[in-house]
Each structure stands twice: as C-alpha cells, then as structure tokens.
Amino acid sequence: MLFQTKYESPVGRLTLASDGTSLTGLWLEGQKYFGGAGKEERKEQDDIPVFHAAKEWLDRYFSGKRPGIRELPLAPAGSEFRQEVFQILCEIPYGETTTYGEIAKKIAAKHNKTGMSAQAVGGAVGHNPISIIIPCHRVIGANGSLTGYAGGVDKKVWLLEKEGVNVARMTVPTKGTAL
C-alpha cells in the first residue's frame, strides 16, 4: 500500500506519496503524469516520518534556503535509464541549469558511448515522479528555451526565479524545437 498527503505551496497544492519509508512521488496538482504510472491504492495519511521530513524540506526550499536532496530517502520509480537521469538531476546545483544534451553526454560518457539521445533524456526528465525535490525544473533546451514542464511552464519559471536564475533571456519554445 502507498500513502499520500497534501502540501500547500506557493506553486499550488502538492501531493506527496510514500511507500511508508521513502518518498516515491511529489506532483503539482493537475500536472501531466499526476500520480505516476502505478495504479496502487493510496491511503491519505499525514503521520509518516518521511512526509514530515519532506514537508520540512519544502518549507526550507520555499523560504529561499537550499536544502540538500540527500536529506530525504527518495525512491522514484523508473527504468535503469530513468534512474540514471534522476541521479544526474539530483546533482544540478540550486540556482543553476543544464540542458538535456548535457545530461545525454554525461550518460554516454559513463557508458563509453559516443552519443545519447537528448530526446530520450527529455522523456525521462518529463516523467520524474518527484518534482521539485528531484529538480527537473533546472533542465532547459540547448538554445536556452524553457521546455515543457509537467507541472506547467509557468511553475518552472517560478521555481527557477525563486532560485535566482535569470529567465528573462529564456523563451518558451515552439513544438519540436526545444531539445
């Protein structure tokens, strides 16, 4: 059984999910892929230690502090490739951005390959089940574009601005030009 709770944030209501030990999900209300792929029943329950820790983490984040990702037990679901992408996302420093292509190059280098698809990375980033804490909002297009964010590009802009990123030079891409 999975558990869930709600958190009211400056970017709207968030739903947090847990297996009872680790955080398995964090979604913005109404976002694409809300709740992940699993169809398991979830019980509303606030008194799980990881929920307390995650809410404290979010309180610090939204107050402008830089909480560490390693402070929380995270268990995002996903293939081995997606897990690699999620790990790289966790390494992007607060207030900085990277591109899908840069992530693809890191994965290619790790596997001694000459290349990796930025689009494949984009698919993994787009299915990140623990938004904000696993900072997929810090990934932008190669041309500096604010590519899609499952929670909405407006939320991505808000999060980046909160972290001090100058988004004025960035644009919202037209379909097919982002990566």
Q: Is residue 69 within 8 Å of 116, Cβ to Cβ?
A: no
Q: What are φ and ψ of residue 18, in 5° steps?
A: -150, 155
Catalytic position from the list 11, 28, 89, 136: 136
Kind and range of the H or E run holding 39? none
Please give the C-alpha separations between residue 7 and each of 12, 26, 105, 132, in angstroms, as whole numbers: 8, 10, 35, 13
Is position 136 annotated as part of the catalytic site? yes
Tokens of 88: 């790289």
Integer Cα distance of 133 and 25 in angstroms? 10
Coil vs helix vs strand at 31: coil
**Catalytic sites, residue numbers:** 136
